[in-house]
Structure 1
Amino acid sequence: MSLISSPASPKVGKRLAPHYLWLGVAAAALAPWALTWWFVPNHRVDWECLSNLEFDTQTPDGKLVQAYGTMTSRFNKDGSGTSRFLGRLRLGETLSVVHRVNEFNYVWLNSLIRVNTVTASRIASDDANDALVYRYVNHGFEPGHTDYFQAMRVGNAVAVGFNGLPRAYCAPVPATASSK
């Protein structure tokens, strides 16, 4: 008696395990973001701003208020920054020294910059009333305060201000030999 072998049946392909399918979907979703992060350069730069300020106004009861001094700010690449104001605040005949520093976080919103104050401090010589500083010098020296500024391109620099009127000139921080 002879053994007759049956023709070989074609191999049926193995089914893909579900976890491999999910890995493929995750890779397809994340790959464009990873490639963008890898190939798109970060062109953000550090900015320094300097402004000599003088504000003259009146209180509701008619007293003259003068605030004047120098504001310096630094906007870092990582979205953080610091500001410092050194000046005077005169309310009627009373003259106070204002010397404040704050740390903030910022984000660009097209032509606007949103700045949120994280911390603020007085320097030793500051003897001004907080409420007067917030109202007549800069409300940004109050922790938690959020403000919006316009940013206008000026050559390779930026002017920051309100209502289309520049108030502070900001230039890129020069690269040093250690930061190249």
Structure 2
Amino acid sequence: MTRTPHARTQSEETVLRRAVCPGSFDPITNGHLDIIARAARLYDTVHVAVMINQSKRGLFPIEERIALIEEVTADLGNVEVESFHGLLVDFCKQRDIPAIVKGLRAVSDFDYELQMAQMNIGLSGVETLFVPTNPEYSFLSSSLVKEVAQWGGDISHLVPGPVLQALNAKLKQR
């Protein structure tokens, strides 16, 4: 059987490896960025899903969080950022994303995240991959960054430059 150079069998089709990095990212920190960048090296496309939590009022509106994440991940080239509300597995099913990538800072994170991972695979078959956080960021959270910044502490080594500028501007408005 002769095949034309352009004909491909299904097994030769390129399958995109896709994953999601979910979070509230209020604001994105260097710890978040490290996990996203590491996922971007492993997957063809990484979706950053910015969670909308109706019961919490964030410092940054969702649109501003998305814009900041897009700015600080632009050099990665394979990151897509959007918001979501509801179940993460529904977000994954709607976009045909088979994997969730989560950073783990400590054993206490693992206890909670393991339960979520088991629920997610049971609900939809979506796998969760845990990535150990760079020790440099093992203590870091958005809440801690906001609190330190609010009291005038130096957070310049904890967040990307554009986030530092936006956070300082936001805190001056208060």
TM-score range with shorter-chain normalisation?
under 0.3
Q: Which has the larger radius of gyration?
A: 1
Q: Given the two structures, how large is their TM-score scaled by the length of structure 2?
A: 0.25
Name the one with the larger strand percent. Answer: 1
Whichever structure has more helix as a proportion of its residues is 2
